[in-house]
Amino acid sequence: MTALRHTDPELAGLLDAEVHDQNTTLAMVASASIADPSVLAAGGAALSNVTAEGYPGARYHPGAGNFDGVERLAVERAKRLFGAQYANVQPHSCSSANLAVLAALMPPGGTLLGLDLDAGGHLTHGSPASVSGRHYRAIAYGLDAYGRIDYARLADLAAEHRPTVLIAGASAYPRLLDFARFRAVADSVGAYLVADISHIAGLVATGEHPSPVDLAHITTTSTYKQLGGPRGGLILSGREHLTPGPDGRTPLARLMQGAVFPRSQGTPAPASIAAKARAFALAAQPEFAETTRRIVADAGALAGELSRLGHRVLTGGTDNHMVLIDLRSTGLTGVIAERALEECGILVNRNRIPGDTRKPLVTSGIRLGTNILAQRGLGPDRMRECAALLHRALAATTALSDTEYRIDSRARATLRAEVRALCARHPLPRAATATPVTPHADLLAEAALAPPDSTLATPTGARL
């Protein structure tokens, strides 16, 4: 960063501004978390300069000795963290992991059964907006009247359509996934079960959510969400790793190796894999388990407080890190709530709710998550304060149309100041990445003499 501030101040300025924003906003985006500085450092390592297609010991380029060591480490740590027999750490994202897995398990036109996008499913689970919904015959299962996965209907749909692949996983579902039940449905029609734990991987790793690794044939996840790793994906397999693939011969583990490279990716991202290795090691530490316990406790407390304040919390609560709010009775849309809250320094994202009639860019709901609140050390006892900030910001907002709104400027200023103060009292667990390194020798000397809390000063000297 020192060199970058000299050579490219425009870019460095934007990167510094992001550090400042992260420090001073209350991020409740359910898919986000804060990566440890060591994860960010590994992700920016010179290892990135290595080009090496293939896998450790079988590369198509020279000079991959260190990278081989790093990738082996990442694979072993991923297996240990999740109790898996097989891991592939090369997918560039969970979306690409899902598409690689589907392509390996089914020919084009094969039948895929996944959770409906409006019910909380992910694009890659068969949405028509994704190739998963275009290249396969995608059938969607949904929710019951209480907003829970309708397992009985799922079994009926499986019996009727006989999918080759059943996906268990969600982007916006606040309740436990019953992987054993999914597996029973898959077995009833001879389908492969793919569990996508992208959102709940941290909870699965620490036992806060039951693990699918030995129940599903294949498990996929993002590494940057709850795992606090770099942008990227991961494929795992447990007890079923030697089960034959669709050709009746090739074990699933071998099938997955080829599915990622060469079938769907070229060169892996070596530094990203180093960052994954670091994140897996951190996720195995007791501190991480403690954070995941707090994530779940926080979400329950936040849901309770918001209900008490009169908000309609979908399913009446949560079992994981997510709280889904139906905004229809407030007169606000998802996009208005998202923007108004952002003006007050609170980040949540708009979210379609079951039966939503509004467009995906507008929506009738919002999705909250407690990963970063818990990382800030905010426990369930502080959720009353967080819920109140959210509630007051929404109450200060008036919708003028589905996308236009007015927010009371005094309320906004007060809330913004309160959010900053809360963030300052509970800083992100990574002050080191916010350390300004000024290029001027005189200021460097000054910084060396400054008290320790000066690490939170911006390059311009303002407090963060």
Q: Which residues are annotated as a binding site for (6S)-5,6,7,8-tetrahydrofolate?
A: 117, 121-123
Least Å distance between CB 252 and ligand PLP?
A: 19
**Whose Cβ is closer to ligand PLP: residue 149's or residue 170's?**
170
φ/ψ of residue 368, rounded to 5: -115, 155
**Whose Cβ is closer to ligand PLP: residue 30's or residue 393's?**
30
Q: How far apart are CA 47 and CA 179, in angstroms?
A: 38
Sheet strands (E) in 333-386: 346-347, 349-351, 365-369
Q: How far apart are CA 149 and CA 82, in angstroms?
A: 25
Least Å distance between CB 415 and ligand PLP?
A: 29
Contact 353, 366 (CB under 8 A): no
Q: Could you give the C-alpha distances from 56 to 263, 295, 324, in angstroms and in order?
A: 17, 36, 42
Q: Rounded to 5 degrees, what angle do the CA atoms 207, 36, 390 make?
A: 75
Least Å distance between CB 209 and ligand PLP?
A: 13
Least Å distance between CB 132 and ligand PLP?
A: 10
**Whose Cβ is closer to ligand PLP: residue 163's or residue 233's?**
233
**Whose Cβ is closer to ligand PLP: residue 94's or residue 337's?**
94
**Whose Cβ is closer to ligand PLP: residue 29's or residue 45's?**
29
- In which region does residue 317 sit, left (phi positive, over 0), alpha (psi from -120 to 50) or beta (all else)? left
Which residues contribute to the site for ligand PLP (CB under 6 A)?
Answer: 31, 93-95, 122, 124, 169-171, 196, 198-199, 222, 233
Residues 6+ apart with CB under 8 A from 28: 346, 347, 348, 368, 369, 370, 372, 373, 386, 390
Contact 339, 263 (CB under 8 A): no
Contact 266, 241 (CB under 8 A): no
Least Å distance between CB 422 and ligand PLP?
A: 27
Read off the tokens for 75.
């694979």
Least Å distance between CB 102 and ligand PLP?
A: 12
Nearest CA among 344, 450, 442 for reference residue 397: 344
* Three-state SS at 256: helix
**Whose Cβ is closer to ligand PLP: residue 158's or residue 322's?**
322
